[in-house]
Structure 1
């Protein structure tokens, strides 16, 4: 009896153990992925990166500005950067001061960014399309001491707007002290860019070289403005460390260390894609950059690829749509293009097909990231085929942790949607002078909430399935509706406005404004809205479409439900297609 009892007990025990094991095995694996591969992080500043590139690559061409017909070597870039860096300090700028570059893509943009880093200053990148109101907001927000800009570009009169900002009443918070203008003319109240470079002495440059040892890689290197849910742009402070390392590892995945790519870069330099992925990425591996034009120009890009024999280009899907249309028209004899690195919006199967057939691109790689993560934190791998970019934004970046959480902050199983969070040394330091917003986005545990609804797979590949916020992505530009709504609501005949993104084949999304009128007898056309916005909102924020409505769908508590707009305004929205 005793033996049978123990046999029974053992049998029960064994069954229990097997049951628990099965339960453990059936438990879904949760969406957390940490990719550790390759080399460790580099503890360098941007200034050290430039100096290393100059010493290693010397007279090799660093940059070609196709429209300006200029070429500059790595050694010349280093020389000019230190001349400008010393001159910036000679006019009274001190370590940590904020210096803005407000310009389209020119050679002086590249030199200025390097000089600001070598001087231990903080580079502030401003969208060249900003109006004076947007400029003044940025000047006050981070206390910009100096701005480097061209005198004019197209309809943008940079010098005139900067002069107006200097003349603002003493009660304003604007601290702008110096205007530095790139151009042939010498303008009153402004330094000439070339004159500053020429004014530097050998002793001045020696001081800049000695300064490098005291600049910490952990210190702030750049501020980029990114819109927030309040409608006002947030100033994102990025470190030397984050920018140097992210650009290095992205370059490795692109194969910059294996092949002597010549990079055609139409991306605006005030974005992380232009100044981090492209500009800094080229310095690590000694690759030549080609800027086709100050702004995106499909024909200039194609001709620069042909004339400079470029075998790599970076851009957005919107750029590709225009580039493909232009090539179909011109049919230029393009060289073999080894790779196209694309980000900023989803890639459609048609774009992938056309890139391989029309432009003969051999490999397409996609990236996903944001300003707050110093650019890309997901990227396709070298062995991935072109079709993978149609479904995934890539795999988690080197030395990056990713997780996907639900509304309560708990991990969701792999393959299920939730909010993507990133933890890495490449994350931003903070939002400038906004501790509460910093805490909302970047927790004390180091996890940064992206605000994107995302699916993470067990193999580390991910895809975006929506946005938790209302952000509109128009041709790679991030636009938040509240800023536009707040301005539209100042119109004398607009009672209430809501702004949404609507699908667009070329831009990915276009801005659409829906509004209720105070006086129904006085209709507002799209042209009326365009005229009202010009001069206050940057051109990419001005609504492409307008719809007059009688009411908005609301919750019982009175909150407007944008999630119901598609169904509520289906007929009006369908007419836009």
Structure 2
């Protein structure tokens, strides 16, 4: 029996909104947040249909980089027509379709087309190079893949031709490649046509009225427990794994997020600079927007903090989304431009956020509330998130309150529960847990135990109140001469330096002590910092053994598209 099915067998209780309803085990870090509303057994396709019925001509997406706006009704109609076209190509229910696009409105059309056609969408990073694209195709056995023609330095037809040179000699939909044997069709969003590939607009024409009718009539054949989206892990520690999520995962997690972000209070307009392919983009933004008719704005096809600020002003955005790095950049440009912005709520997630950065968010961006979300791809998206009435401490010093219908425990290296307030590995059980890693039973069993606990690899502190604090990743903990050092503590302190934009700390090999501390910092424009100055700044503020022995000043940091610093690459740079 799946975790999702077991979860729905729980008895749900009705209580005051967000009143803590949890069970705990003595004084040890275990908690079960029972929830105040029952989980919803519905598909994403049904959720979209409900949104189109209720919100109709209201703008669903505003894509400023394309000068395009799409209503909820138009989104459903285009998704269904594209879905009919995909099935007319010969794709079968359950086939995998790769989507490798930057932030364009077509991303959502294709996302929902796959969902409505009962195909499994595979979300891909548009920064992938040929070996990564080939790996992704073969990892999940894609039958079709969708690109635009180019983005930044990427020419996607050339990249695909390097992987599958046969595409230059075949008819569209009849690709047979030795390198990617499962792949039959490639689709390009372009004003040009490419040999061996379909044009995006062709897919709308291929679908018949009968096929469109079948898409609309067959939604009841799709089950909420069915797999629907594959997302690759962000690759902060090496080769990504392919996580599988169900409709049930996505619908319920996005509803919980929408309520806690307060999307139900009015018609909000949200600014989304995050990549659409990431869990933040898919769940926190796209799926959550469907529940209460939120309009979301894509500032530009690629990430640019000045374009984000322009979008916030022009579209009168009331909600801001972003990773900590994105807010560092937005604060920097707003400090220079000093624009009149009136956003109400700021939501941050995807990486650790320092108290100093929260302070700057409130002072420079002038938002009324800041909210944290915390989770991981293997847990759909969000596990802890701020409550609507949280005070400043709980909004900024914690990653939020445990989500509804979720069990949490924090364990030591032997698997024993640690006391509340002590760090250990965070484990999760509930409807949020992924169905597994695609075609990787061994890794799935390593991550999700036989009794349903998902081991996150995160060092975490659970408070008795139900709020949590992230310490860092277990693999990132530095052991210096027997002392356990958590990089986040040092990073948070270095981020308070007036000349530092962001700091990231790693452990590097040391013959005597085992590991030493190394700090990578990105400085504000025109500023400088040397090791001696950094040491003086640290003295009397953090313990001597935590003061970095090495300082590396950099202009850029290796990051995933979601804004997480790839610390394994920092080790290579050292």
| Same-fold call, TM cutoff 0.5 | yes
CA distance in 2, matches of 1:333, 1:370: 34
Of 154, 162, 172, which residue of structure 1 is paired with 2:160? 162
- 1:123 aligns with 121
Count of matched residue positions in the alignment of Structure 1 and Structure 2? 482
Counterpart position of 1:308? 315
Deviation per CA, 1:162-208, whole angstroms, max 9, x where unpaired? Answer: 22222379543542111111121122111111221244332221111
State the alpha-carbon separation in 2 of the partners of residues 71 and 471 from structure 1: 46
Q: What is the Cα deviation at residue 375 of structure 1?
A: 0.4
Q: TM-score, normalised by structure 1?
A: 0.79
- Give the CA deviation at 1:357: 1.9
Structure 2 partner of 1:446:
452
Question: What are the Cα deviations for residues 63-121 of structure 1, in whole angstroms up to 9, with x where unaligned?
Answer: 10011110010000000000000100101111111101101110100111000100101
1:433 aligns with 2:439: yes
Counterpart position of 2:194:
187
Residue 53 of structure 2: aligned partner: 55
Summarize deviations over 1:495-517 as a string: whole Å, max 9, x none.
xxxxx999585785669897xxx
Partners of 1:183 and 1:208 lie apart in 2 by 26
Aligned to 2:98: 100
Alignment match, 2:563: none
State the partner residue of 1:418.
Answer: 424
Partner of 1:536: none
- Runs (5+) with no aligned partner, structure 1: 1-26, 473-499, 515-550, 556-560
1:272 Cα deviation from its structure 2 partner: 0.3
Q: Which is higher, the Rg of structure 1 or of structure 2?
A: 1
Structure 1 residue 356 displacement after superposition: 1.7
RMSD over aligned CA atoms reads 2.7
- Does the Cα contact within 8 Å between 2:476 and 2:507 map onto a contact in 1? no
From 41, 44, 47, the counterpart of 2:42: 44
Could you tell me which runs of 5 or more consecutive residues in structure 2 were left unpaired when the two chains were aligned.
Answer: 1-24, 167-175, 479-486, 520-543, 555-574
Cα distance change, pair 339–571 in 1 and its aligned pair in 2 (3 A): closer
Instruction: Please state if 1:279 is matched with 2:278.
Output: no
1:256 maps to 263
Partner Cα separation in structure 2 for residue 179 and residue 289 of structure 1:
29
Given that 2:324 and 2:353 are in contact with CA atoms closer than 8 Å, whether structure 1 keeps it comes out as yes
Q: Are 1:220 and 2:218 matched, yes or no?
A: no
Residue 401 (structure 1) aligns with = 407
Aligned to 2:87: 89
Identify which of 240, 245, 263 aligns with 2:247: 240
Q: 1:327 to 1:433 in 2, by over 3 A?
A: same
CA distance in 2, matches of 1:564, 1:252: 41
1:109 match? 107
Tell me the secondary structure at the aligned position of residue 32 of structure 1: strand
- Which of 551, 565, 572 is residue 574 of structure 1 equivalent to? 551
Distance 1:553 1:316 in 2: 36
The secondary structure found in structure 2 opposite 1:321 is helix
Structure 2 CA distance for aligned equivalents of residues 419 and 190 of structure 1: 47
- In the TM superposition, 1:501-516 aligns within 5 A as 505=495
Alpha-carbon distance in structure 1 between the residues aligned to 2:329 and 2:246: 34
Query: 2:298 aligns to what?
Result: 291
- Checking the alignment, whether the CA contact within 8 Å between 1:346 and 1:390 is kept in structure 2 is no
- After TM superposition, the structure 1 = structure 2 runs for residues 335-484 of structure 1, keeping only pairs within 5 Å, are 336-470=342-476
1:403, 1:422 within 8 Å by CA — same for their partners in 2?
yes
Change beyond 3 A, Cα 1:569–1:330: closer
1:266 is the counterpart of 2:309 = no
Q: Distance in 2 between matches of 1:292 and 1:381?
A: 27
**8 Å contact from structure 2 (residues 386, 399) kept in 1:** yes
**136, 139, 152: which one pairs with 2:137?**
139
Deviation string 1:518-547 (CA, Å, 9 cap, x unpaired) is xxxxxxxxxxxxxxxxxxxxxxxxxxxxxx
